[in-house]
Structure 1
Amino acid sequence: MSTATTASSSSAFMLICLLHSAIALSSGALMMFKMKEIYTFTHGIETATKLLGSSPHDQLLIRTSDSFSGLLLFAIGFLLFMVSFVKDKSFQSFFAKGCTILHVMVAIWRFWFERRVEDLAWDWLRQTVGDILLALSWVFFLVYSWREKYD
């Protein structure tokens, strides 16, 4: 394999990782600090009120859960940022396959469970399409790297 081919594949991996990292970092930060505004923007005022809880205890639990979810997403974004600089081809392929499986599993979870939640039922399709698109970015990388490998 030529050096230009290796550099091209590594650049594609780095670009996809950095894109996914930016999405995860910004989403995680918003989840930690601006969840009420995000709920209102994405679901409307009435649904946001339901999703934020009715009692002070429920609201505290939901805020804590959202903050920890946001922190986890932020950590995943940071991990993706670090992984983007790895140059090992076998690791890149392994990582891309794992990310593809993860995004497909999230899409399946949304299809089977999230669409049954009455307040979120109208939003599951948009989020599932987003998960599929994120998975496709990794599939495109795998196809691109396989094409380089077998040409």
Structure 2
Amino acid sequence: MLYLEEISVVGHGTETAQKLLGSTPHDRSLIQISISFAGLLLFVVGFLVFMVAFVKDREFQSFFAKGCALLHVAMALCRFYFERRVEDLAWDWPRQVAGDFVLALSWVLFIVYTWREKYD
């Protein structure tokens, strides 16, 4: 289905990818199930954002954007406090935290843009 090992090697390197994929068959199956649920969650969130795009109520869109910005900031804090402690991911977390903050900033810019339209 997906080339999980190859994607992990490209993202993390060969040694780290082997460690992250688990050492026993049970660990590997748990990790694959976790990745499958993460993919399902991404699909649901994408579908939700697609549905919200057709809502004409600006207040609801502003509320949704605030929630998304808060979610990205919370994810960045989670990465900062927990992922940096994982030895194999220690070099990867600053880039991901920066990405989370950029995504949060994009939602904040959306809020500012809609606020500007509202009060112009």
User: TM-score when scaled to structure 1?
Assistant: 0.75
Identity of aligned residues (%): 68
2:99 aligned to which of 97, 119, 130:
130
Pairing of 1:1-151 with structure 2 (within 5 A): 33-151=2-120
Deviations 1:9-65 (A, max 9, x none): xxxxxxxxxxxxxxxxxxxxxxx8332222111100110000001111111111111
Deviations 1:91-135 (A, max 9, x none): 011001000100000001111111110000100010111111111
- How many correspondences in the alignment? 120
Q: In the aligned structure 1, how far is the partner of 2:45 from the partner of 2:14? A: 29
Q: In the aligned structure 2, how far is the partner of 1:77 from the partner of 1:148? A: 25
Bigger RCO (CA 8 Å, 6+ sep): 1
Give how far 1:73 is off: 1.2
Give how far 1:88 is off: 0.7
Supply the AA of the counterpart residue of 2:75: V
Supply the AA of the counterpart residue of 2:23: S
Supply the AA of the counterpart residue of 2:41: L
CA-atom RMSD, angstroms? 1.2
User: TM-score when scaled to structure 2?
Assistant: 0.94
Give how far 1:150 is off: 2.2
